Structure 1
Amino acid sequence: MRSRTARGWQALALGATLVATMVSIPEPGAAAPGEDRAYTVDGLNEPVDILVDDNGVPHIYADEHYDAFFAQGFNAARDRLWQIDLWRRKGLGQLSEVLGPAYVAQDRANRMFSYRGDIEAEWRSYGRDAKRLTESYTAGINAYIELARENDELMPWEFEFLRYQPDEWAAEDVVRLRTHALVGNLTSEVDRAYMARDFGLRYENIRQPLDAGWKTKVPKGLDLDLLPEDPEELLEVYDLATQGVTFSQENLAALGGFGSPTLDGQAVRPAADGDRPGDRAYHGESEEGSNSFAVAPGRTAVDGPLIASDPHRTQAVPSLRYVAHLNAPGMDVIGAGEPGLPGVSLGHNQDIAFGLTVFDIDQEDLYVYRTRPGHPNEYRYRGRWVPMDVRTEEIPVRGGGSETAAMKFTKHGPVIYEDPERNVAFGVRTVWSGPGTSAYFASIGYIREDDWGGFLDALDRWGTPGENQQYADAAGNIGWKPAGRTPVRRNWDGLLPVPGDGRYEWKGFYDADKLPVSYNPDRGWLQTNNESRLFDEHETGPLPKYVNRKIGFEAANPWRSLRTREVLAEMDEATQESMLELQTDHVSIPGRRITAAIENVRSDDPAVRQALDILRKWDHEMSLDSSAAAIFDVWTDLHGAPGTDDGFLGQALLAAAVDDRAAVEAIGKPASTTTVDMVEHPDRWFGGKAVAVRDAAIESSLAAAVRKLTEDQGADPNAWRYGFYNRQELIHPLSELVDPHTRGVIDIEPREKGPVNETVGDEGASWRYIAEPGNWDEALAMNNPGQSGDPESPFYENLFVPWSEDQMFTLHYSREDVEANTALRIRLEPSS
């Protein structure tokens, strides 16, 4: 399932003896945190202390409940103002106002997918005091913006370079943003529709097998010939809304030049033609790959349970995650969230700990409309022509004036593509366009709960994205509950587009108790790895009652889940060290199974024989120094290192299994589960002498891999290293616009740590967390590359090297422990 947000990969396996509870310190030459600071601000009721610890984590101590959220907003702006301002502008469709006309199309797309409903209904959806705490949070952001406007030293350099000022926030801005989170399956719906148009559904078991053995079919009345020729054209608006913001000199021509802020003692200059960076290490996106697990007290070596969570999202500078500790009457919570949101989503309070991973709920559908000839703003719905809701908005554009954006909506949602000549239009219905579905915002409910019952009640209000919610508490309990608004589709499964004529409508949403749950299972542990989890506490495989609710059939591949279960089943005395060892595990389950299945493969080619011999002696660890790991990933591409090409093995097996050359080209390569099954069970896939056909594909593809490895790394297979293909470099969004000196300040140099997809460790989560509930001062965390977005801060990249070495820091919690590890004190005083 393609996603606009990334998970990461990781390339270092860690043994228990190497786990380090570490306190990161600024690198030599980095600026000290500075002297204590005090600010007088509007909007605060009582004084607040912010103690920033030696890892950059702010600990907020307030005497009034909502002042804690004010201080959180203030400090998030202090550390990440340009990041959250860009996030807000992108989500609200206000980029063109400061960046110019090149961003008008993206602004229009984001406005179409932002929340456009009644704001009071939105606030009510979250219950309790959502509006009030968000007003406090945004007041804190605005207080910092006011200070920064008065003091240039407080304003992030990016604003001066791009020559604009940050805007103040309204509370509703926080919840109207909808396109920043993990989105759903619209892209896979479209991919499947084009395959079905051209080849039917006969190759789907090769291209993208569905979970639980589900087989889809073309919905009645769907005319696949109505699809435009180019799927990218169909998805252009959706893609613009759900992708990030990119910068180039061409797109920013309306700025009329760049400003010259000072950074690292030198003026920032625009990049000249000769200043362009060369090849970069890997810094792109990948599929999601999060993990969470909890172990009950009877299977740990400590007094209570253990919980671990490492959601794998974009590795970026600054980090996607922001860590904060909020201590006020009625609340003492610490953990990670997104810097533009109040509260946290992952972490713990004084009683319970919580983590999350993506749970596959199908929350998007593509509708195909017949439009009225000569009247393209009308579509056929339940036997009559119905007008679209046509809205126009003026989008302010830097450089003067504005552009008028016309946006069309059907009963289901925004129209993303139309062809008046063919009398057809396409619209999108999403869960995340309705009230109560601002991504992750509903965590404001459970961060203040103190037991399993309260936690479950809070999850009833969780809208998007679909998440496995992992739980453990100081009383010794562990639990798992998926959360997310789940459409009821009575007469179709959501896997292909459907006619928008009224035959295919959501019949509301399932109650939360219609999703599975597990609490204190007898086996003593729980895990989630984004795999299909259409079962309950018995974990006996997909259960009909969940399968038939058609919750979703496109979860992640099972490899990480299989490895996690394998390790947890043998973990009788779990410790934080063994939990971290599992979080950073890089055993290849596909590698183990494929090498076992090819034990009898022979070759007359000496180079292939040598490669086979190395693979058969392999321990199946995707370690950086391993020649076998290098051979395996170049041969299969099942672990996704950049530069390994697209998988010689899968391509060869596909060509042997499918006679239709056009279909082979369209499929590209089999799904990873299919590739493994083709090797293990050739009789299922190949005609004639199936084993001989498979072996020929293995030999030819391995020969191609050896040729590539020789070209890349030389003729000695024993000198080949997987690390050759694995480097992680964090690139600032403005990197290519600035001079080499500035680029060296804002980018974070490469380390050998890169994609190892389909292993538990992957690239390594930017946020990682392990805790024994109740023993909170021993909790461990990691937030790559650091807390601050200021390149001159000691907390900008202080965690990158420890992260790359699989280390973690102590997540200080008690006031005594925080005071003993404070690097900077900030005092906020109310203005009156």
Structure 2
Amino acid sequence: MSYTSYFQIIVTCVVIPLLAMGCGEEVDTVDSDEQLMSLARASISQIEGELSLEGLQEPVEVIRDRHGIPHIYAQNTDDLFFAQGYVMAQDRLWQMELWRRWREGRLAEIFGPEAFDYDARTRLMMYRGPFDEREWTSYHAEGERIFTAYANGVNAYIDTHADNLPVEFKLTGIQPGRWTKETVVRRWTGLFFPSAGNDAGDEIRLARSVAELGVEEANRRAAPLPWDDLVVPEGLDVTIVHEDIVAAMRKGEGDPLVPGRLPQLELVEPYTGLVPPDRQAEAPTEEQLLEIGSNNWAVSGALSITGQVMVVNDPHRRLENPSLRYYSHLNAPGWNVIGASEPPFVGVTAGHNDRVAWGYTFAGVDVNDVYVEELHPEQPDMVRWQGGWEPLRVITEEIPVKGEEPRVVVLKYSRHGPVFYEDPDNGVVYAVRSITHEPGTAPYLGCFRMAQAESAEDFFERAMFWKVPTHNLVFGDVEGNIAFQVSALTPDREGWNGRLPVPGDGRYEWQGFREDLPREYNPQRGWVGTANNDSHPPDYTGRPVMFHSSRGVEYSRIERMKQLLQPNRKYTVDDHKRIQLDAYSLRAEADIPSFQGWTSDDAEVERARALVADWNGVLDRDSAGAAVWYRWRGEAEAAAYEPETPADERRPLVEAGLRKTVDRLKGELGEDWSQWRYGRLQKSPFTHLLSDAFSLPAVERSGGFGTIAATSVSFRHILDTEDWDRSVFIITPGQSGQPGSPYYGSLLETWGSDEYLQLAFSREAVEALAGHRLTLSPR
């Protein structure tokens, strides 16, 4: 049964009218699920016919294809982005509301005190302006106009659906907030920056390591790549950098919207009995949160069966329901671009226009620095600066908290940035300077300039406006050019490298921002590609812009990519599919010989050993050998798989690890070894934050961390510049975030089967694939 059919059956059942249910009355699970789905279906947005809206200048046509992608045809820029805002709100308003509250530090208002730390951290670290011309024009010459139109479109949906909002709003009584152009560019910096290398947390940890081990040993263990001789900045006392700082940094960090991190939202009458506490959405495991790893590559015509460029991308982050990403097609005079976007879902962040295609992976550029600010001995809000003293800026704010009086937070800032830790005993405070406090650094919104690129060479210049996140961009054009560019607003540190905290007295200041970022253009090998690896090209002569680590960091994906993208081959779209879905593990290839050439006296251990010894190294969801090896990697001592371990010492470690593995798998998968499948350990969950009734079935997956087919892929696409309509994509679990919609979870089965769908671009292809047609008309 398809996942779409699963929901259709539920919502077409005869249900008990909601208002007939006594307030707080307990109902059985089947009845409550049926009632929830009935309520959800009654809240579905209109996606067929005609709607009249205030704020439009001319009619806009929205054709949703059978995959749920809206193709928006407008006659001017304002209407185009107004319509995108309206359409996004139709499909994702609940997700957008939670995102807005997170970015504004207003989660505790609905979740209660458990969300306070997240709000306090957001308030401290958020960008506070100025929202001026520098901010808006960094994204696009018409950035202010675009974001205003988008916000107006979101608000138009809210206004016209005040009496029939999506089901989550009905159940909780939460009212969606108004959007402004400032909402669209909201951002804050994390101390553990997900796309950056050597973030603030890394600096503090390395400083502690230096204090404990000394400079040389700490640097050897850090194993920077490219190699760098570590130098302790003059004036930094590493002995005062203590563990409490790291603990304080973690407070309020991370994504609060991961299921299980915040309490169940309360339901209002008459729905209070529909979601009992034991049916709250299940939290993902740490393994599921870590199974990530993005890939991108572009091949020239010399390696393509068509003789033209193909661009391939599959970014990986946490799998969510609704999806982190959303596909849309924007068409108006000056605009014709299709692809995926991320919250707040404006524009297209990875895709193609008529002439250029592009994709991204996280690069790991170092864009944060920790400053240790010396406090005045008698005036605790004064810090040293260039031989004198200057005051910290202090802001006092109230944070609304559900069920309590508002809590007051005191936020402090040095000239470098937010003060995240105060240590009066040692006479210092710790502040962080981040590029996200610079104008024009809202994540992904550099995409607007790239959406209008005419060629790969033109793209180079436009890519410099893609400031956050730090990305490896690969791109190609219809003229046959391919290229790669590291993109980030990259601090210029003259005479120091940012790997350790630095004194804030003026000796270690940014000297502007660098333009000599790594890039390649039409390399002789015929392809460019990245996989979150050290992406400095071999001939790069500038100072490193990132420091990865050669110890304990996974580079198997880029090595496997090099194996599969061979010269003198002609690759088809289907070939690129196979590469994206490649589940062969180079780590397993290195480990398998350790399971061969010996036997164990323990019958169960011997059976497990043989499964791995005879296994082909492919993390196939139906493989028992893959299941045993995967769990063994977590149960065995590290020396069992480290290459430096002598063979005679390795075998007993391998055997001991197998004994633990068998015991664990029997607990996880049962006593019947015929049911041991890798996919049972690699289930991708699609839980709904509010109610498990809206959750989608978990999917057993092949691949995993260290393979190109890393499991947490929210979308894949392969873009064919020779014929854009031959491009293919998949997104999971579906385009709509509204339970009961025909596009809610509609692509999960396709994604779970490793299949792709046409990414229609020409008007003819869109018409042939049309599923629903909506006209938005001026009122």
TM-score class, shorter: 0.7 to 0.9
Asked if 2 retains the 8 angstrom alpha-carbon contact of 1:282 and 1:729, the reply is: no
Q: Distance in 2 between matches of 1:471 and 1:753?
A: 29
Q: Distance in 1 between matches of 2:567 and 2:301?
A: 15
Gaps of 5+ in 1: 1-21, 262-266, 536-540, 638-646, 654-674, 683-689, 736-742
TM-superposed deviation, 1:503:
2.4
SS in 1 for 2:637: helix
User: What's 1:109 paired with?
Assistant: 121
Q: Distance in 1 between matches of 2:474 and 2:748?
A: 27
The partner residue of 2:339 within 335, 338, 346 is: 335
Tell me which amino acid in the other structure corresponds to 1:545: T
User: What's 1:123 paired with?
Assistant: 136
The partner residue of 2:152 within 117, 125, 139 is: 139
Percent of residue pairs identical: 33
The partner residue of 1:701 within 657, 667, 670 is: 657
Matched, 1:442 2:446: yes
Matched, 1:761 2:709: yes
Matched, 1:214 2:228: yes
User: What's 1:173 paired with?
Assistant: 183
Asked if 2 retains the 8 angstrom alpha-carbon contact of 1:372 and 1:379, the reply is: yes
TM-superposed deviation, 1:241:
5.2
The within-5 A match list for 1:147-186 is: 147-149=160-162, 151-152=163-164, 155-179=165-189, 182-184=194-196, 185-186=199-200
User: What's 1:529 paired with?
Assistant: 531
**CA-based RMSD:** 3.0
Q: Distance in 2 between matches of 1:57 and 1:382?
A: 56
Q: Distance in 2 between matches of 1:695 and 1:400?
A: 59
SS in 2 for 1:375: coil
Matched, 1:632 2:632: no
Structure 1 pair 571–325 and aligned structure 2 pair: CA distance change class (3 A): farther
TM-superposed deviation, 1:761:
0.4
TM-superposed deviation, 1:346:
0.7
Asked if 2 retains the 8 angstrom alpha-carbon contact of 1:33 and 1:794, the reply is: no
Structure 1 pair 786–207 and aligned structure 2 pair: CA distance change class (3 A): farther
Q: Distance in 2 between matches of 1:696 and 1:71?
A: 64
Tell me which amino acid in the other structure corresponds to 2:726: E
Asked if 1 retains the 8 angstrom alpha-carbon contact of 2:361 and 2:472, the reply is: yes
Structure 1 pair 468–47 and aligned structure 2 pair: CA distance change class (3 A): same
User: What's 2:15 paired with?
Assistant: none
Structure 1 pair 26–375 and aligned structure 2 pair: CA distance change class (3 A): same
Structure 1 pair 716–72 and aligned structure 2 pair: CA distance change class (3 A): closer
The within-5 A match list for 1:18-29 is: 29=9
User: What's 1:724 paired with?
Assistant: 680
Q: Distance in 2 between matches of 1:703 and 1:589?
A: 24
Q: Distance in 1 between matches of 2:772 and 2:288?
A: 34
Higher mean alpha-carbon deviation, 437-446 vs 704-713, is at 704-713
TM-superposition CA deviations, 1:356-406 (whole Å, max 9, x none): 111120111222222223422122233222211111223344568643321
TM-superposed deviation, 1:92:
1.6
Q: Distance in 1 between matches of 2:96 and 2:272?
A: 22
Asked if 1 retains the 8 angstrom alpha-carbon contact of 2:365 and 2:488, the reply is: yes
TM-superposition CA deviations, 1:128-180 (whole Å, max 9, x none): 1111111111111111111111x31xx11222322221111111221132359
TM-superposed deviation, 1:760:
0.4
The partner residue of 1:188 within 202, 221, 228 is: 202
Q: Distance in 1 between matches of 2:122 and 2:45?
A: 38
Q: Distance in 2 between matches of 1:123 and 1:445?
A: 12
Higher mean alpha-carbon deviation, 576-585 vs 362-371, is at 362-371
User: What's 1:15 paired with?
Assistant: none
Matched, 1:322 2:326: yes
Tell me which amino acid in the other structure corresponds to 1:46: E
Matched, 1:616 2:613: yes
User: What's 2:352 paired with?
Assistant: 348
TM-superposed deviation, 1:826:
1.5
TM-superposed deviation, 1:749:
1.4
Q: Distance in 1 between matches of 2:78 and 2:471?
A: 27
TM-superposed deviation, 1:616:
3.1
User: What's 1:290 paired with?
Assistant: 294
Structure 1 pair 177–33 and aligned structure 2 pair: CA distance change class (3 A): closer
Asked if 1 retains the 8 angstrom alpha-carbon contact of 2:682 and 2:702, the reply is: yes
SS in 2 for 1:496: coil
The partner residue of 2:637 within 637, 649, 665 is: 649
TM-score, normalization: structure 2?
Answer: 0.88
The within-5 A match list for 1:52-131 is: 52-120=64-132, 121-131=134-144
Q: Distance in 1 between matches of 2:404 and 2:626?
A: 56
Q: Distance in 1 between matches of 2:625 and 2:561?
A: 22
Structure 1 pair 290–300 and aligned structure 2 pair: CA distance change class (3 A): same
SS in 2 for 1:412: coil
TM-superposed deviation, 1:113:
1.8
Q: Distance in 1 between matches of 2:108 and 2:618?
A: 48
User: What's 1:663 paired with?
Assistant: none
Q: Distance in 2 between matches of 1:596 and 1:249?
A: 41
- Relative contact order: is structure 1 or structure 2 higher (C-alpha 8 Å, sep ≥ 6)? 1
Asked if 2 retains the 8 angstrom alpha-carbon contact of 1:26 and 1:798, the reply is: no
TM-superposition CA deviations, 1:784-816 (whole Å, max 9, x none): 001111001011101111111111111111112
The partner residue of 1:734 within 690, 708, 718 is: 690
TM-superposed deviation, 1:545:
1.9
The partner residue of 1:520 within 509, 519, 522 is: 522
TM-superposition CA deviations, 1:283-307 (whole Å, max 9, x none): 8422641001111112222242211
Structure 1 pair 249–124 and aligned structure 2 pair: CA distance change class (3 A): closer
Q: Distance in 2 between matches of 1:713 and 1:429?
A: 48
SS in 2 for 1:411: coil
TM-superposed deviation, 1:28:
5.1
Matched, 1:590 2:609: no
SS in 2 for 1:230: helix
Tell me which amino acid in the other structure corresponds to 1:109: R
Matched, 1:775 2:771: no
TM-superposed deviation, 1:626:
1.8
Asked if 2 retains the 8 angstrom alpha-carbon contact of 1:160 and 1:260, the reply is: no
Q: How many residues align?
A: 739
TM-superposed deviation, 1:602:
6.9
Structure 1 pair 719–209 and aligned structure 2 pair: CA distance change class (3 A): farther
SS in 1 for 2:72: strand
Matched, 1:506 2:510: yes
Higher mean alpha-carbon deviation, 605-614 vs 68-77, is at 605-614
The within-5 A match list for 1:526-605 is: 526-535=528-537, 541=538, 543=539, 545-546=541-542, 548-554=543-549, 557-569=554-566, 572-596=569-593
Q: Distance in 1 between matches of 2:3 and 2:527?
A: 30
Q: Distance in 2 between matches of 1:568 and 1:783?
A: 24
Asked if 2 retains the 8 angstrom alpha-carbon contact of 1:24 and 1:809, the reply is: no
TM-superposition CA deviations, 1:667-721 (whole Å, max 9, x none): xxxxxxxx5xx32x44xxxxxxx44334443343344334433554467767642
TM-superposition CA deviations, 1:492-517 (whole Å, max 9, x none): 32222222232222222111xx1222
Asked if 1 retains the 8 angstrom alpha-carbon contact of 2:99 and 2:343, the reply is: no
Higher mean alpha-carbon deviation, 24-33 vs 313-322, is at 24-33
SS in 1 for 2:548: coil
